Amino acid sequence: MDNTSIWIMIIGVSIVSLAPRIFPVAFFSRYEFSAVVKEWLSFVAPAVLGGLTALSILAPQGKIDISIQNIYLWAFLPTIVVAVRFKNLFITLLVGIATMAFLYNFLGM
C-alpha cells in the first residue's frame, strides 16, 4: 500500500470509528428516552462486559479455546475470586497480571 493510500485509509477508519461514538450522544441528548428504552439501555453494560469477559478468557487468540491448556482460563480463577472479594480494579489487575506472569514463566504454559 503506498503512502497516500495509507493516509486515506487512516482518515477513512477515523471517520467510521468516531461517528458511532459521537453521533448518539450528539443526537439523543435532546430527547427523553421512554422508561422501557432506559431500562433496556441499563442492561447494555452488564451484557457487554459479560460478552467481553467470556471472549477475552475463552477466545484469547480470537478462536474459542475451552480446554485445560488455555492459560487465560487458569489465570481467570484467582482473578474472579479477588474481583468478587475486593471489588477493586487495581488489586484485581495486579493479581491477574502476576498470575499470568507466574503461569507463563514458571509453569511453562
By CB under 8 A, the residues from 74 to 103 that bind other proteins are: 75-76, 79-80, 83-84, 87-90, 92-93, 95-102
Contact flag: residue 65 with other proteins (CB under 8 A)? no
Contact flag: residue 70 with other proteins (CB under 8 A)? no
> Is-contact 79 62, C-beta < 8 A?
no
Q: Return the HEC string of 9-72.
A: HHHHHHHHHHHHHHHHHHHHCCCCCCHHHHHHHHCHHHHHHHHHHHHHHHCCCCCCCCCCCCHH
Contact flag: residue 42 with other proteins (CB under 8 A)? yes
Q: How many residues bind other proteins (CB under 8 A)?
A: 77
Of these, 21, 69, 106, 107, which contacts other proteins (CB under 8 A)? 21
